[in-house]
Structure 1
């Protein structure tokens, strides 16, 4: 199962007991986002490690988990989680200078970046040298096809930079219904208010609208497309890590958050 999932480019994790009672060392549990196979030797540890392991898998991270004999956090049993996950995706909609800058910084951060715009004269590889692929299609149609094909997951980031309601509203109406990591849209506060009304008219409820990051990015005083891309990247990282986005000089505790366990 592990080899098949890796070969297919689907996220999968191998959990191995590396410390504990002799009869459990070397036992394995294989996890996908929905299924698990094998056992670490005890139901309680299997259940706990599956939950924690999926958290690490969703982030594409490898780490150690520590439990006591009944599966509660503690000592006595150590489980190594090795994640095999394809690069998370960033979908950049729009063919503006800001979109091109966002695509470049997305690649720098390790995302597999797709740029999409309905206008073939603008959606070109020359305009998006930082993207892994450039697609000519209506944004909402492309997003719907990718969702239907199962090529989006809870790590996927969507940046809507078209600044045009006829593109923005249909793609955001769909994106905000999907279990994605981040959905952001460019625009002034006036544009944002107008966009919210259009999305409400399209049938979106307030909980879905609350997921929209608009205007997208952190308050860095960005002026250029490149500076704006940095502010967007900073917000994506903060959202992924459930961090505040505040200056470290004003926050207590450790700078680097550790993995579970």
Structure 2
């Protein structure tokens, strides 16, 4: 369940309203939204959220209202409904994006896991919400907050709750969501019970060295796609401008002072933007000591080659140099700081997704490749 849906559901439940949720739990092919996208329907007619951006929402509202009116009489708490793209069904529901979606529809009758995730989001603490898709307890939820707290449970076995909590923590560390399969009693190996795990990880970090025009443009654009941006510059007069402070945290420090006290992981990025060896090289040396998933440096090819040789002279290996994207960015003909920001963020997104970054019109295969789902029963 996405963040906005969590907060809305908690508010509606606190008002004493019955609420049904339709949550996107699996995608085959392409679909507009990510796993966890949720449509909420409250008793009385209020509707909030979306699962496919309008393709199947009308049908899902009817499914949700049927749940609130008493369901279909089969005794299940919730059920998975499937909408595909083929022939008459594609025309009927309007799923024109080329994929098949599976959505779990059921009433929200356990507030505690949702409240735990809502509180975590408010406090900036990572949290995951796991949703059981199969069996008599389908629709049950379990929340994992941070690395310690587990709220709620599936009511199947303690083994299942334990395994899902462990896997949810792993998903949080990687900042991803997806499906996992378990045995009928909760064994790690199996597919009798499917669980959708939706992560609300803390935002990835981007550290920009150098209070420059390029840093201002990158900070503004990176914030729009979810990065928490820090601009680092030892020159306080340069760093104090509102074009930096409006979109990023600004730290006045030398590169070697800031990064050793900063924890960076695979989702995080470091950009070196100063074109000055006395800043660039300490920043890159410090960056290589972190777990940052992306390290980039601006400059011409001649600048990049000279900088690489100086780093080799300082003991940097070829394997370490391969971690540095220099010159950074996709080859889109960027010239201005704003265009360069687009090129750099495009490269970061492409590498993060394992894509080449070329033109979609000249590529083949799915636009949004998905993880292999656990086998269905």
TM-score of the superposed pair, with normalisation by structure 1: 0.81
Contact 1:177 1:208 in 2 (8 A): no
Question: Where in structure 2 are the equivalents of 1:1-20 lying within 5 Å?
Answer: 9-16=124-131, 18-20=132-134
Residues 57-97 of structure 1 deviation map (CA, whole Å, 9 limit, x = unaligned): 245344433455554575x2111213232211111111111
Q: CA deviation at 1:49?
A: 8.2
One of 223, 234, 238 as aligned partner of 1:107: 223
Q: Who is 1:64 aligned against?
A: 179
Residues 1:225 and 1:10: Cα distance change in structure 2 (over 3 Å): same
For residue 218 of structure 1, give the secondary structure of its aligned residue in structure 2: coil
Contact 2:212 2:273 in 1 (8 A): yes
Q: Aligned equivalents of 2:197 and 2:224: distance in 1?
A: 26
Contact 1:31 1:50 in 2 (8 A): no
Residues 1:30 and 1:183: Cα distance change in structure 2 (over 3 Å): same
Residues 1:220 and 1:42: Cα distance change in structure 2 (over 3 Å): farther
Residues 1:103 and 1:247: Cα distance change in structure 2 (over 3 Å): same
TM-score of the superposed pair, with normalisation by structure 2: 0.58
Q: Which has the larger radius of gyration?
A: 2
One of 147, 172, 177 as aligned partner of 2:284: 172
Residues 163-212 of structure 1 deviation map (CA, whole Å, 9 limit, x = unaligned): 11111111111212211121100111111112112222322222221111
Residues 1:36 and 1:209: Cα distance change in structure 2 (over 3 Å): farther
Q: Who is 2:197 aligned against?
A: 81
Q: Who is 1:135 aligned against?
A: 251
Residues 1:190 and 1:107: Cα distance change in structure 2 (over 3 Å): same
One of 291, 299, 314 as aligned partner of 1:187: 299
Question: Where in structure 2 are the equivalents of 1:1-261 lying within 5 Å?
Answer: 9-16=124-131, 18-22=132-136, 26=140, 28=142, 30=144, 41=157, 50=166, 53=168, 56-58=171-173, 60-67=175-182, 71-72=188-189, 74=191, 76-147=192-263, 152-259=264-371, 261=373
Q: Aligned equivalents of 1:110 and 1:247: distance in 2?
A: 24
The two structures, once aligned, show a CA RMSD in angstroms of 3.2
Residues 1:189 and 1:160: Cα distance change in structure 2 (over 3 Å): same
Contact 1:107 1:130 in 2 (8 A): no
Contact 2:150 2:165 in 1 (8 A): no
Contact 1:45 1:67 in 2 (8 A): no
Contact 1:36 1:50 in 2 (8 A): no
Q: Aligned equivalents of 1:45 and 1:238: distance in 2?
A: 35
Further displaced range: 79-88 or 107-116: 79-88
Contact 2:144 2:169 in 1 (8 A): no
**Aligned residue pair count:** 253
Unaligned runs of 5+ in 1: none
Residues 1:260 and 1:172: Cα distance change in structure 2 (over 3 Å): farther
Residues 24-83 of structure 1 deviation map (CA, whole Å, 9 limit, x = unaligned): 984747486x779799848699669845x4564245344433455554575x21112132
For residue 122 of structure 1, give the secondary structure of its aligned residue in structure 2: helix
Q: Aligned equivalents of 1:45 and 1:205: distance in 2?
A: 45
Contact 1:140 1:167 in 2 (8 A): no
Q: Aligned equivalents of 2:169 and 2:324: distance in 1?
A: 25
Residues 1:83 and 1:207: Cα distance change in structure 2 (over 3 Å): same
